[in-house]
Amino acid sequence: QSALTQPASVSGFPGQSITISCTGSRSDVGGYNYVSWYQQHPGKAPKLMIYDVSNRPSGVSNRFSGSKSGNTASLTISGLQAEDEADYHCSSYTSSSSWVFGGGTKLTVL
Amino acid sequence: QVQLVESGGGVVQPGRSLRLSCAASGFTFNNYAIHWVRQAPGKGLEWVADVSYDGNHQYYANSVKGRFTISRDNSRNTLYLQINSLRAEDTAVYYCARTLLQYFDYHGMDVWGQGTTVTVSS
Protein backbone atom coordinates (compact mmCIF):
# COMPACT_ATOMS: atom_id res chain seq x y z
CA GLN A 1 0.00 0.00 0.00
CA SER A 2 2.62 2.58 -1.02
CA ALA A 3 1.25 6.05 -1.60
CA LEU A 4 0.73 7.16 -5.18
CA THR A 5 3.26 9.72 -6.44
CA GLN A 6 2.12 13.27 -7.19
CA PRO A 7 4.19 16.43 -7.71
CA ALA A 8 4.30 18.52 -4.56
CA SER A 9 3.25 21.66 -6.38
CA VAL A 10 2.15 23.04 -9.73
CA SER A 11 1.27 26.55 -10.79
CA GLY A 12 -0.28 28.42 -13.67
CA PHE A 13 -1.71 31.75 -14.71
CA PRO A 14 -5.43 32.43 -14.97
CA GLY A 15 -6.80 31.10 -18.22
CA GLN A 16 -4.01 28.58 -18.69
CA SER A 17 -4.23 24.80 -18.42
CA ILE A 18 -2.31 22.65 -15.99
CA THR A 19 -1.93 18.90 -15.56
CA ILE A 20 -1.27 17.00 -12.35
CA SER A 21 0.14 13.49 -12.61
CA CYS A 22 -0.46 10.56 -10.29
CA THR A 23 1.81 7.54 -10.65
CA GLY A 24 1.19 4.14 -9.14
CA SER A 25 1.70 0.56 -10.21
CA ARG A 26 -0.06 -2.32 -11.91
CA SER A 27 -1.57 -3.16 -8.52
CA ASP A 28 -3.52 0.08 -8.35
CA VAL A 29 -3.66 2.80 -11.03
CA GLY A 30 -2.56 0.52 -13.85
CA GLY A 31 -4.80 -2.36 -12.88
CA TYR A 32 -8.16 -0.65 -12.36
CA ASN A 33 -10.19 2.17 -13.85
CA TYR A 34 -11.10 3.30 -10.34
CA VAL A 35 -8.98 6.43 -10.06
CA SER A 36 -10.56 9.45 -8.44
CA TRP A 37 -9.45 13.03 -7.83
CA TYR A 38 -10.32 15.34 -4.93
CA GLN A 39 -10.03 19.08 -4.46
CA GLN A 40 -9.38 20.37 -0.96
CA HIS A 41 -9.35 24.00 0.11
CA PRO A 42 -7.56 24.90 3.37
CA GLY A 43 -9.48 23.78 6.43
CA LYS A 44 -12.19 22.12 4.34
CA ALA A 45 -13.18 18.57 3.57
CA PRO A 46 -12.15 17.09 0.22
CA LYS A 47 -14.52 17.34 -2.75
CA LEU A 48 -14.83 14.68 -5.42
CA MET A 49 -13.91 16.12 -8.84
CA ILE A 50 -13.32 13.02 -11.01
CA TYR A 51 -14.21 9.37 -10.54
CA ASP A 52 -13.50 6.23 -12.57
CA VAL A 53 -10.53 7.96 -14.26
CA SER A 54 -12.49 10.44 -16.35
CA ASN A 55 -16.05 10.91 -15.10
CA ARG A 56 -17.27 14.13 -13.53
CA PRO A 57 -19.89 14.08 -10.78
CA SER A 58 -22.90 16.30 -11.30
CA GLY A 59 -22.06 19.93 -10.60
CA VAL A 60 -18.33 19.75 -11.31
CA SER A 61 -17.14 22.13 -14.01
CA ASN A 62 -16.19 20.64 -17.37
CA ARG A 63 -12.91 22.52 -17.04
CA PHE A 64 -11.81 19.50 -14.99
CA SER A 65 -10.91 16.34 -16.89
CA GLY A 66 -9.13 13.09 -16.11
CA SER A 67 -7.24 10.47 -18.06
CA LYS A 68 -4.95 7.49 -17.58
CA SER A 69 -2.07 5.89 -19.44
CA GLY A 70 -0.49 2.77 -18.00
CA ASN A 71 0.32 3.31 -14.34
CA THR A 72 -0.12 7.10 -14.46
CA ALA A 73 -3.36 9.03 -14.14
CA SER A 74 -3.67 12.73 -14.85
CA LEU A 75 -5.96 15.58 -13.88
CA THR A 76 -6.16 18.52 -16.25
CA ILE A 77 -7.69 21.85 -15.33
CA SER A 78 -8.32 24.18 -18.24
CA GLY A 79 -9.10 27.89 -18.10
CA LEU A 80 -7.53 28.22 -14.64
CA GLN A 81 -9.45 30.40 -12.22
CA ALA A 82 -8.45 31.86 -8.89
CA GLU A 83 -10.88 29.57 -7.05
CA ASP A 84 -9.09 26.52 -8.42
CA GLU A 85 -6.20 27.24 -6.06
CA ALA A 86 -6.29 24.29 -3.67
CA ASP A 87 -4.71 20.94 -2.88
CA TYR A 88 -5.52 18.07 -5.23
CA HIS A 89 -5.38 14.43 -4.21
CA CYS A 90 -5.58 11.36 -6.42
CA SER A 91 -6.76 7.97 -5.21
CA SER A 92 -7.00 4.47 -6.61
CA TYR A 93 -8.57 1.17 -5.72
CA THR A 94 -5.95 -1.56 -5.25
CA SER A 95 -5.53 -5.29 -5.69
CA SER A 96 -5.61 -5.63 -1.87
CA SER A 97 -9.26 -4.50 -1.82
CA SER A 98 -8.07 -1.25 -0.31
CA TRP A 99 -7.64 2.35 -1.40
CA VAL A 100 -4.48 4.39 -1.69
CA PHE A 101 -4.06 8.16 -1.98
CA GLY A 102 -1.29 10.26 -3.43
CA GLY A 103 0.67 12.72 -1.34
CA GLY A 104 -1.31 15.66 -2.68
CA THR A 105 -0.40 18.52 -5.03
CA LYS A 106 -0.68 22.19 -4.14
CA LEU A 107 -1.98 24.22 -7.08
CA THR A 108 -1.08 27.89 -7.09
CA VAL A 109 -2.85 30.27 -9.46
CA LEU A 110 -0.32 33.01 -10.16
CA GLN B 1 -29.74 17.34 2.80
CA VAL B 2 -27.20 14.55 2.41
CA GLN B 3 -24.85 14.86 5.35
CA LEU B 4 -22.22 13.07 7.42
CA VAL B 5 -21.25 14.38 10.84
CA GLU B 6 -18.26 12.99 12.74
CA SER B 7 -17.77 13.15 16.49
CA GLY B 8 -15.68 11.59 19.23
CA GLY B 9 -12.30 13.17 18.61
CA GLY B 10 -10.18 14.77 21.29
CA VAL B 11 -6.83 14.76 23.04
CA VAL B 12 -5.87 11.26 24.17
CA GLN B 13 -2.80 9.80 25.84
CA PRO B 14 -0.68 7.26 23.97
CA GLY B 15 -1.86 3.71 24.51
CA ARG B 16 -5.46 4.69 25.24
CA SER B 17 -8.53 3.96 23.13
CA LEU B 18 -11.08 6.11 21.37
CA ARG B 19 -14.28 5.53 19.42
CA LEU B 20 -15.22 7.86 16.60
CA SER B 21 -18.76 8.11 15.27
CA CYS B 22 -20.18 9.30 11.96
CA ALA B 23 -23.89 10.12 11.85
CA ALA B 24 -25.54 10.01 8.43
CA SER B 25 -28.69 11.76 7.25
CA GLY B 26 -30.48 12.63 4.04
CA PHE B 27 -29.85 9.33 2.22
CA THR B 28 -30.48 5.60 2.57
CA PHE B 29 -27.50 4.80 4.77
CA ASN B 30 -27.75 1.02 4.48
CA ASN B 31 -27.31 1.17 0.69
CA TYR B 32 -23.81 2.64 0.78
CA ALA B 33 -20.33 1.54 1.74
CA ILE B 34 -18.62 4.11 3.97
CA HIS B 35 -14.93 4.92 4.42
CA TRP B 36 -12.74 6.46 7.10
CA VAL B 37 -9.95 8.68 5.75
CA ARG B 38 -7.48 10.61 7.88
CA GLN B 39 -5.17 13.55 7.34
CA ALA B 40 -2.21 14.24 9.60
CA PRO B 41 -1.30 17.91 10.10
CA GLY B 42 0.19 19.33 6.91
CA LYS B 43 0.05 15.96 5.17
CA GLY B 44 -1.97 14.27 2.45
CA LEU B 45 -5.00 12.06 2.79
CA GLU B 46 -4.60 8.49 4.05
CA TRP B 47 -7.29 5.87 3.55
CA VAL B 48 -7.93 4.05 6.82
CA ALA B 49 -10.79 1.57 6.37
CA ASP B 50 -14.14 0.92 4.79
CA VAL B 51 -17.18 -1.22 5.51
CA SER B 52 -19.65 -2.66 3.03
CA TYR B 53 -23.23 -1.37 2.88
CA ASP B 54 -24.49 -4.32 4.93
CA GLY B 55 -21.61 -4.33 7.41
CA ASN B 56 -20.52 -7.82 6.43
CA HIS B 57 -17.15 -6.85 4.95
CA GLN B 58 -14.45 -4.64 6.41
CA TYR B 59 -11.16 -3.58 4.82
CA TYR B 60 -8.20 -1.88 6.48
CA ALA B 61 -4.98 -0.10 5.60
CA ASN B 62 -1.93 -2.11 6.64
CA SER B 63 -0.89 0.76 8.92
CA VAL B 64 -3.95 0.31 11.17
CA LYS B 65 -4.80 -3.36 10.81
CA GLY B 66 -5.15 -5.02 14.19
CA ARG B 67 -5.64 -1.75 16.10
CA PHE B 68 -8.62 -0.16 14.32
CA THR B 69 -12.08 -1.66 13.94
CA ILE B 70 -14.70 -0.24 11.61
CA SER B 71 -18.36 -1.06 12.15
CA ARG B 72 -21.79 0.30 11.42
CA ASP B 73 -25.26 0.28 12.92
CA ASN B 74 -27.71 0.62 10.05
CA SER B 75 -30.62 0.95 12.46
CA ARG B 76 -29.01 4.12 13.85
CA ASN B 77 -27.56 5.39 10.53
CA THR B 78 -24.17 5.54 12.23
CA LEU B 79 -20.64 4.45 11.38
CA TYR B 80 -17.97 3.81 14.00
CA LEU B 81 -14.20 3.57 14.21
CA GLN B 82 -12.73 1.98 17.31
CA ILE B 83 -9.11 2.96 17.74
CA ASN B 84 -6.99 1.06 20.26
CA SER B 85 -3.40 1.49 21.45
CA LEU B 86 -3.24 5.05 20.15
CA ARG B 87 0.12 6.28 18.87
CA ALA B 88 1.47 9.75 18.16
CA GLU B 89 1.28 8.97 14.44
CA ASP B 90 -2.49 8.54 14.71
CA THR B 91 -2.80 12.29 15.28
CA ALA B 92 -4.96 13.52 12.40
CA VAL B 93 -8.31 14.80 11.26
CA TYR B 94 -10.54 11.80 10.69
CA TYR B 95 -13.16 12.03 7.94
CA CYS B 96 -15.95 9.65 7.09
CA ALA B 97 -16.90 9.55 3.43
CA ARG B 98 -19.68 7.89 1.44
CA THR B 99 -19.03 5.92 -1.70
CA LEU B 100 -20.43 7.42 -4.87
CA LEU B 101 -22.61 4.51 -5.97
CA GLN B 102 -24.93 2.35 -3.95
CA TYR B 103 -23.74 -1.12 -2.95
CA PHE B 104 -20.24 -0.74 -4.42
CA ASP B 105 -17.13 0.81 -2.91
CA TYR B 106 -15.02 1.16 -6.05
CA HIS B 107 -16.09 4.49 -7.47
CA GLY B 108 -14.77 7.23 -5.24
CA MET B 109 -16.15 9.13 -2.28
CA ASP B 110 -18.72 11.81 -2.98
CA VAL B 111 -19.97 12.92 0.43
CA TRP B 112 -17.56 13.84 3.22
CA GLY B 113 -18.07 14.93 6.78
CA GLN B 114 -16.36 17.95 8.26
CA GLY B 115 -13.89 15.78 10.16
CA THR B 116 -13.09 15.19 13.81
CA THR B 117 -9.63 15.83 15.22
CA VAL B 118 -7.71 13.23 17.18
CA THR B 119 -4.58 14.36 18.99
CA VAL B 120 -2.43 11.76 20.69
CA SER B 121 -0.26 13.37 23.31
CA SER B 122 0.86 12.78 26.85
pLDDT of residue B21: 98
Alpha-carbon distance of A66 to B100, in angstroms, equals 17
Sign for the pseudo-dihedral over CA of B102, A104, A41, A53? negative
Distance from C-alpha of B24 to C-alpha of A2, rounded to nearest angstrom: 31
Nearest Cα residue in chain A from B43: A103
Give the pLDDT confidence of B29-64 residue by residue, as tens digits. Answer: 999 999 999 999 999 999 999 999 999 999 999 999
**A88 in contact with chain B, both atoms CB, cutoff 8 A:** no
pLDDT in tens, A50-109: 999 999 999 999 999 999 999 999 999 999 999 999 999 999 999 999 999 999 999 999
Give the per-residue pLDDT at B107. Answer: 86
What number of residues does chain B have? 122
What is the band of A2 on the pLDDT scale with cuts at 50, 70, 90? confident
Decide if B107 and A51 are in contact by the 8 Å CB cutoff.
yes
> Could you say which of A1, A34, A89 has the minimum Cβ distance to residue B62?
A1
Closest CA to A9 of A110, A109, A107: A107
What was the pLDDT predicted at A86?
98
Contact B86, B17 (CB under 8 A): yes
Q: Does A3 touch chain B (CB under 8 A)?
A: yes
pLDDT at res. B20: 98
pLDDT tens profile B53-62: 999 999 999 9
**Best of B2, B3, B5, B45 to disrupt the A interface by mutation (most A CBs within 10 Å)?**
B45
**pLDDT tens for chain B, residues 1 to 122:** 999 999 999 999 999 999 999 999 999 999 999 999 999 999 999 999 999 999 999 999 999 999 999 999 999 999 999 999 999 999 999 999 999 998 888 889 999 999 999 999 99
> Which residues from A are below 8 Å from B62, CB to CB?
1
Whole-number Å distance between alpha carbons of B75 and B109: 22
